[in-house]
Chains A and B, each alone.
Chain A
């Protein structure tokens, strides 16, 4: 099964019964408070395709390694969400030498929430299915029909169902009805009568679904759109900016948007990915009819609770630093002085069903990594000065404005390396995020070198980093990092095999002089 992204929830997911103990209803904002749940911004939630290619003995192309998906496969060790808000923001800092002896200063910002969605009363749901009926989706339309029937059957009493079918135009076939088998069957018959079109009016399909989100009159509950799409937008409004703006506007109105991609080789992931990265719902790709069935079942079992809107995060470089590279959030923007990330809405997810893990990893992680580059002569500022300033602001579920600000100090002078090879960490007990980043950078550099024809350095990156990982693991023993290391070593074997011309020795491993990661060893 080739799944671009397995089923995931854009913000947080509490699997059934995994953390429901000690809960108490009430509390601020969205409801009850218990434990902490990671809050991540949207995007693919795994690197299934990358892993699958490695498992086949091949070397994946660099673009198949999505950083957001990679980070989301990891469980994030974060401090408790005890900030008193529904969203807690945690800044961290790591300073380590680079492998070439330079300085590596990396900021990391992650979010979690004390709200346990499993303890919240499930509100009524108005589910609006916006289904593309085109030449691309026609082949699996029977599966779509079956899936919608399954979904309708899993809705609860008091829920409502709408159905929009769109090809080169959009038609509303069900409008806020109590989901009854007969009405759904009739609507599906009407949908089948619509000739599959070559062009797709994606904007119109989503806009018509969005107009239904406020209806029906008298309904009180949450609205969610399930958008089945081949990713193509070829009729009417087609610019990605417009489609994204519509999805963003819907999210601001607290309408969750789950994207279900399908279409095989004709699938175009660009717009679905952009929409998914808004963080307003789930993003799934269905390879076949069996996938469709499972995804529609999950859809019926999932509840998304809005906890914040208009979320804005800003990491500002302190005096003596400038912003370097950023990782983990494609929507983040940066200049030399600051990196910023905006999300129209943050939702907490809850599913009654099985756990969602990927590739042996525990899943649920993510955050924003911001490289801080010391300015020349900044060492004169001395140790103990701020490295970056973190600020966040958002509108809470109760409509009030909230904000948080923190300054992160560097115990070393800007650009100064710690003694020895052990990194200086602002929080040693929650430091695995930095090794997670190193693992991503290792994989990325390896496939980059390989696809540039440099087998020696592709192997060299791994041989340079792998021993430091083992030393790190001797201290932290993190299962996700072990899984990463397995993947890295499998990739190494593939590269060695692919680069070895028959009858000739394997290429010599040569570490590159420059590597974007830090040297983190004990």
Chain B
């Protein structure tokens, strides 16, 4: 027989057993099952644990007196309180449990102190004791002791936060790998991009000004923020943006936080996957950006994505200085074909040439503007010229006195390739220059023209004689602004509002005077 005030008697109390069952079921079945909210399972664990653990403590230390019982209870309650009000104590507890081979993740959450309300119940059970137990009941007590200890040791963590069981479906994410809580701002770019080209140097290609509105989240240590825009907006309870159904093959976000320079994160869209938050230290970082302490500030490191500080002013490439303007013309009002007397040829203040024309039949006046180098406009007042226009070409030919073919200028805008009479060729992006940002923050790289049958490529702003045509005229080709647009957006002019290769060229046919 055991004395009535034996502490182990409390282990036979139905409330102890109920708490023990709740602890085991809650920690091993309910948590993460989605049956109950994480907030409820977290608090259930605390409440039941603070009945089971103090009673076990009192039993283990055979605390018969009130003073001894209080000490046994304090062994549980004081550390519990400490780790919930002090991050340092929580970290100490994690270290200690790890050293003992049963690593816990301990969360510092003062709201968990509400579970201390269970202590008076445990005290009442312990103080009430019980009748002297027959020998067979000692088996029950020992079983309770072992099961209770195991339940407490095996619990996944002392104080799981509500987020503990949360998963995000996202193709990329940021995770706070500091010991501080961080406010992280994420913005997404508003532009069309050529993923392949931008991937080479996203920070250079994507101006910070292209990143529009965003969201801010507060991340506790190890907490995760999805970077895929829909996942992030869903996570903060915001409505999806107009981009919700975009499928571009790659994504970019601008990540900012106190102490972290604005950082461009770029990734190929390899599809969403489940990312748990908080993410354990050894969690899968594929597609993740770790925000890490770096001196007084932060740094970002990515896995399977590109992470680089945003570049406000990109250094111009060598090609930018030589970037020519587009060959263009304005001949609105002119019939698509006509013959005219050239009354005046004036070079304007911008270098474009104004041609004052009079219809040879009815003398109707017209004005055309040709924006091309002076040398390519060989016409003089008094000439009779034949003018043919279309949406993409302007052709001006001087009528020769003996009706043979005289000087002729052809201006053309094109995309992809060129096919103009004697000249055909293909546009190829420059390999010697990096891309450049335009004034509207499009990202472009110059392209050259590979002329069929001619060696080498013709670069923008350059001209080349390529022989004579079938009428014995010397043929010269010049390339105006010609480029491939890798980042385009609607804030730009038409030529840079969409992706693609496009440019302008002129072909000059000149009579060869023997």
Contact = CB atoms under 8 A, between A and B. Distances in A.
B215 to A, nearest CB: 4
B219 to A, nearest CB: 13
Contacts of A457: 183, 258
Given A451-B213, A452-B216, A207 B330 contact: yes
A211 interface: yes
Interface in B171-199: 183, 185-187
Contacts of A116: none
Given A170-B367, A203-B369, A452-B215, A240 B493 contact: yes
Contact of B352 (A234, A242, A334): A242
A294 interface: no
Interface string A442-468: 000000010111111100000000000
B349 A252 contact: yes
A181 B494 CA distance: 41
Interface string B232-264: 000010000000000000000000101100000
A245 B325 contact: yes
A3 interface: no
A246 interface: yes
A208 B356 CA distance: 11
Q: How large is the interface on B (under 10, 10 to 19, 20 to 34, 35 or more residues)?
A: 35 or more
Contacts of B256: 452
A61 B488 CA distance: 21
B369 A250 contact: no
Contacts of B201: none
A375 interface: no
Contacts of B465: none
Nearest to B324: A241
A263 to B, nearest CB: 17
Contacts of B213: 451-453
B210 to A, nearest CB: 12
Interface stretch (A104-112, A427-435, A508-516): A508-516
A21 interface: no
Interface in B334-362: 346, 348-352, 354
A489 interface: no
Nearest to A204: B330
A277 to B, nearest CB: 11
Nearest to B187: A452
Nearest to B254: A452
B328 interface: yes
Contacts of A455: 216
Contacts of B214: 451-453
Contact of A201 (B315, B332, B348, B491): B332
A242 B187 contact: no
Contacts of B312: 325
B313 interface: yes
Contact of B371 (A208, A242, A335, A512): A242
B326 A242 contact: yes
B330 A241 contact: no
Contact of B495 (A234, A239, A335): A239
Contact of B369 (A168, A234, A236): A236
Nearest to A511: B258
A210 interface: yes
B369 A245 contact: no
B333 interface: yes
A239 B493 contact: yes
B350 A513 contact: no
B258 A334 contact: no
Nearest to B351: A245
Interface in B446-492: 481, 491
B159 to A, nearest CB: 24
B331 interface: yes
A312 to B, nearest CB: 17
Nearest to A171: B333
A248 interface: yes
A253 interface: yes
A235 B332 contact: yes
Given A207-B369, A241-B325, A236 B332 contact: yes
Contact of A453 (B215, B333, B349, B371): B215
A509 to B, nearest CB: 13
A23 interface: no
Question: Looking at A169, A170, A237, A334, which has the most chain B CB atoms within 10 Å of its CB?
Answer: A237
B350 A242 contact: yes
Interface residues of A, number: 42
Contacts of B17: none
A236 B331 contact: yes
B329 interface: yes
Contacts of B313: 334
A142 interface: no
B183 A249 contact: no
Nearest to B331: A236
Nearest to A451: B213
A237 B328 contact: yes
A204 B350 contact: no
Contacts of A2: none
A234 to B, nearest CB: 8
Given A211-B354, A241-B325, A335-B315, A169 B333 contact: yes
Given A248-B350, A270-B491, A454 B185 contact: yes
Contacts of A239: 325-326, 328, 481, 493, 495
A513 B354 contact: no
Contacts of B494: 234, 238
A221 to B, nearest CB: 19
Given A203-B369, A453-B215, A453-B236, A238 B493 contact: yes
Given A270-B491, A454-B183, A454-B185, A211 B348 contact: yes
Contacts of B186: 452
Contacts of B330: 201, 203-204, 207, 235-237
Contacts of A204: 330, 332, 367, 369
A457 B346 CA distance: 58
A513 B352 CA distance: 52
B213 to A, nearest CB: 5
Interface in A197-254: 201, 203-204, 207-208, 210-211, 234-242, 245-246, 248-250, 252-253
A259 B466 CA distance: 45
B348 A249 contact: yes
A250 B332 CA distance: 22
Interface string A398-436: 000000000000000000000000000000000000000
Contacts of A249: 348-351
A207 B348 contact: yes
Nearest to B257: A513
A211 B495 CA distance: 27
Nearest to A330: B439
A453 B328 CA distance: 44
Interface in B111-159: none
Question: Looking at B331, B333, B346, B349, which has the most chain A CB atoms within 10 Å of its CB?
Answer: B349
Given A334-B313, A451-B213, A514-B258, A250 B326 contact: no
Given A246-B352, A512-B258, A456 B183 contact: yes
A240 B213 CA distance: 27
B350 A246 contact: yes
30 contacts: A169-B333, A201-B332, A204-B367, A204-B369, A211-B346, A211-B354, A234-B494, A236-B329, A236-B331, A237-B328, A237-B330, A239-B328, A239-B493, A239-B495, A240-B439, A240-B493, A241-B325, A242-B352, A249-B349, A252-B349, A270-B491, A335-B315, A451-B214, A452-B187, A452-B214, A452-B216, A453-B213, A453-B215, A456-B183, A457-B258
Given A204-B367, A246-B350, 16 more contacts: A169-B333, A203-B369, A208-B367, A211-B346, A239-B325, A239-B493, A242-B352, A242-B371, A246-B352, A248-B350, A249-B350, A249-B351, A252-B349, A253-B349, A452-B214, A454-B185
Interface of B: 183, 185-187, 212-216, 236, 256, 258-259, 312-313, 315, 325-326, 328-333, 346, 348-352, 354, 367, 369, 371, 439-440, 481, 491, 493-495
